[in-house]
Amino acid sequence: MNRRLLLLIPLACTLGAPQPASAQPEGDTTQVDAMRCWRRVSRNAVHVGERFTMTVTCSVVETDNARTLPDQAALEPETIDVAPFEVLDGEHYEDIRTGPYRFFQYHYTLRVISESNFGEDIEIPALDITYRIERRVGNNPALPGRELTYILPAEPVRVLSLVPDAVVDIRDLAPATFGDAQARVFQSNALTLLAALLGVVALGVVALGAARVVRERRGGGRRVDKPLPPPLVVHRALGELTRVQQATTERGWSVETAGRALAALRVAGSVAVSAPVAQAPVDATTPARDGQLRLRHGLVRPKTAVVSSGLTAAALTQRLRDARAGGNGANTALADDLGRAISVFTTARYSRNGSLPTDELTRELDAGIAQLTRLRWRSAAPVRYATELKTTIGDWWRQWTR
C-alpha cells in the first residue's frame, strides 16, 4: 500500500500528519505521495543470456517536520530478488535533493537463462519496498510511524520476440541514469574551467597587444634587445676558432686569421669572467667589421647580430685577481689559458715586424678550442646557477666555521 501525506507549501515545505477532512486547513496544504518509484528497462525483448539494464528510481519526501525512511536494503544489488532473472552487476548512485524531495536510484545489469520460455513474456517480479514516516511536533523528538509497503509493479520482458504483449510504447534508447547526469556535470565543469582559463589567456594577450599599440603610438616604447644567451655566444666563438683552424691547416697563418681568432677569444674570455659583451642588431646582409662576430639567432623570427669585446689580457688578469680575492675560483684556470692565448694573438695581430710565431699560434689555438668546448657547457644556465649556489654555500660554510 502507498501512504499519502499533507504537504504544507507556504514559504517552507513541511510534512504534516494525516488529519480528518474537517480539520485540514484550506488553501495552504496539498496531498502528496510520501514515496514514489519508477522502473525502466533498456530492452523489452532479449535473447537468452543477453545482458540488459534496469534502473529503479524512487523519490521520498523529507522536510523539517516529517520525512520518509525507506528500507533500501531490498534494493541493493546483492539482495534484490528479480528471479528468474539474474543480477550480474549493480550500482547505487549518489542521492539528489530538490526542494522537499530526495531521489535515489539503483542501476542493475540483468540477464535471463532459460530453455523453456522462448517466445514468452517473463515478468521482472514486483518489488516490495518497506518504509516508515517519521514525524516531529515542535521541539519534541521525532517519532517513527508504523511500517508501510510500497509495491513497484512487475515489468514484462519477452524472450526472443519483438516486444511483450503488455507494452504500449516503444523504448529504443537505454534509460538515462543519475551516473550519466553526474558524468555530464563533471564534464561541463571541466570544460567551463578550461574555457575560463583560455578566456583569461586571451584577455592577457589582448591587453599586451593594446599596451604595445598605445606605447608605439605615444612614441615612448624604444625597443631594448635582450642579451644573447652566453652558451650561444660561446658556440659562435668556438665555431669561428674551428674555421680558423681549418683555414690555417690549408693556407697557413696570416694577420687576418690571427685577428679572427683574437676576436673570438676576446668574446669567450668576457663570458668566462662575466664581463659585458657588446652586441648590436644588424641586417642579414651587413658584413661584420674587424673584431666582430656575426651571429644569427631565433627560430620563429630569425635575427642577425654582431658581438664583440675589447677585453685585453691585462683586464682579464685583473678580473682574475678580483675573483680570487673574493674566494671565487670557479673558472680561474680556464680564464688563465684564455688570457695567455689573447696575449699571444694580440702580439701576432698588431706586431710591426710582420713575423708570426706559427707554432705558438697553433698551440694556443688548439688549447683555446679545448677551453671553449668546456666553457660552452659551463656557461649554460643550469650549470651556472648550480656553480653560483655551490660557491654561496661554500662562502657561508667558511664564515660559519670561522
C-alpha closest to that of 7 among 58, 59, 57, 62: 62
**Of 34-43, 128-137, 320-329, 340-349, which range is least confident?**
320-329
- What average pLDDT is seen over the chain? 81
**Of 289-293, 331-335, 368-372, which range is least confident?**
331-335
**Of 88-97, 98-107, 217-226, 371-380, which range is least confident?**
217-226
Average pLDDT over residues 48-67: 91
| Domains along the chain with CATH numbers | 4-181 (2.60.40), 230-401 (no CATH)
Q: What is the pLDDT of residues 133-148, one digit of tens each?
A: 998 887 888 888 899 9
Judged against a pLDDT cut of 90, whether residue 183 lies above it is answered with no
Q: What is the pLDDT of residues 68-78, one digit of tens each?
A: 999 999 999 99
Whether the Cβ atoms of residue 156 and residue 166 lie closer than 8 Å to each other: yes
pLDDT band at residue 59 using 50, 70 and 90 as cut-offs: very high
Identify the burial level of 354 via C-beta atoms within 10 angstroms of its C-beta, where 0-12 means exposed, 13-18 middle and 19 or more buried.
exposed
Q: What is the pLDDT of residues 222-244, one digit of tens each?
A: 555 678 888 899 999 999 999 99
**Of 141-150, 179-188, 321-330, which range is least confident?**
321-330
Q: Where is pLDDT greater, at 4 or 296? A: 296
